[in-house]
Amino acid sequence: MRRLFPVTDRTVHAEGREWSLDELAEAYAYPAGGRWLRANMVSSLDGAAQHEGRSQPISSATDMRIFGTLRGLADVVIVGAETVRLEGYRPARAREAFAERRAAAGQGPAPAIAVVSASLNLDFSAPLFTEPLVPTLLLTGASAAPDRVSAAQEAGAEVVVAGDGPGVEPERAVRALAERGLTRQLTEGGPRLLGQLVADGVLDELCLTVSPLLTAGKAQRITGGPALKVPERFVLASLLEEDGFLFTRYSRA
């Protein structure tokens, strides 16, 4: 079963068939003008963001189509170093389905990947650094180890300082990316990074897939870190359903 609950005027009708990439691109289009940071995460019914350390077991084919669509619309994908290591991140690829749309928006063939890392403890021989269509960005602090900075640069990565200490300050990171023309921003977590973005008040939108699975265990939620003193209210922008999976989109109130 596929349903759309038309919370906004962005509607997708796909009774008995899968949503086309064009339909999904329209449903998830970025608002016009200015920087916009959205997150894309998946959670089980009991709040797990992962199963056995990875998100794939609680995902679905349609969730992955939406994942690809959100990447196809973004200028940059922001991701934490731990997620890069756990999920085996690779460079974003150019997709013919989004080529015309990206060209019309003045975008390159694929989004850049921006990795947030204080230690720069990453495998610079991995495809993320050796095979990207556009150079991978590394967001780090001013006191990052010089030898790791040099290793990153030798591997072809662009190091962006976004913090005065060892770590990254979220507001500075998203501002630095926007100053490079990367205003359509997407983060895929992990939970610690998303928690930092929420705590700093820079997240504009959450695209959350609710998976109809129960996992039990002690898996992380989609956000980690200290709790907010006052919970922040987001409003439901759209809701799609397929086979019990809910594909939600919430924006800042």
Q: What is the pLDDT of residues 113-151, one digit of tens each?
A: 999 999 999 999 999 999 999 999 999 999 999 999 999
User: Three-class SS string for the chain?
Assistant: CEEEECCCCCCCCCCCCCCCHHHHHHHCCCCCCCCEEEEEEEEECCCCCCECCECHHHCCHHHHHHHHHHHHHCCEEEEEHHHHHHHCCCCCCCCHHHHHHHHHCCCCCCCEEEEECCCCCCCCCCHHHHCCCCCCEEEECCCCCHHHHHHHHHCCCEEEECCCCCCCCHHHHHHHHHHCCCCEEEECCCHHHHHHHHHCCCCCEEEEEEECCCCCCCCCCCCCCCCCCCCCCEEEEEEEEECCEEEEEEEEC
Neighbours of 119 (CB within 10 A): 13
Beta-strand pair 112-116/245-252: unpaired
Round the average pLDDT of the chain to a whole number and report it: 89
Q: How confident is the model at residue 106 (pLDDT cuts 50, 70, 90)?
A: very high
Q: Indicate the burial class of 40 (C-beta count within 10 angstroms; 0-12, 13-18, 19 or more).
A: buried
Q: How confident is the model at residue 15 (pLDDT cuts 50, 70, 90)?
A: low
Residue 204 carries which side chain, given as an amino acid letter? D
Distance of CA 179 to the CA centre of its chain: 19
pLDDT of 72 > 70? The answer is yes
What was the pLDDT predicted at 153? Answer: 95
pLDDT of 60 > 60? The answer is yes
For residues 238 and 4, what is the distance between their CA atoms, to the nearest angstrom?
8
pLDDT of 6 > 60? The answer is no
pLDDT of 8 > 80? The answer is no
pLDDT of 11 > 50? The answer is no
What was the pLDDT predicted at 3? Answer: 52
Q: Name, in order, each residue with C-beta under 8 angstroms of 72's C-beta and a sequence gap of 6 or more.
A: 21, 25, 95, 97, 98, 101, 102
Integer angstrom CA distances of residue 171 from 35, 90, 198: 12, 25, 10
Residue 221 or residue 11, greater confidence: 221
Residue 175 or residue 89, greater confidence: 175
Task: Please tell me the least confidently modeled range out of 27-41, 134-148, 151-165, 214-228.
Answer: 214-228
What was the pLDDT predicted at 4? Answer: 52
For residues 229 and 34, what is the distance between their CA atoms, to the nearest angstrom?
28
pLDDT of 9 > 50? The answer is no
For residues 123 and 84, what is the distance between their CA atoms, to the nearest angstrom?
10
Q: State pLDDT tens for residues 155-208.
A: 999 999 999 988 899 999 999 999 999 999 999 988 999 999 999 999 999 999
What was the pLDDT predicted at 218? Answer: 87
Q: How confident is the model at residue 20 (pLDDT cuts 50, 70, 90)?
A: confident
pLDDT of 219 > 90? The answer is no
Is 177:186 a contact under the CB 8 Å cutoff? no
For residues 97 and 89, what is the distance between their CA atoms, to the nearest angstrom?
22
Q: How confident is the model at residue 225 (pLDDT cuts 50, 70, 90)?
A: confident
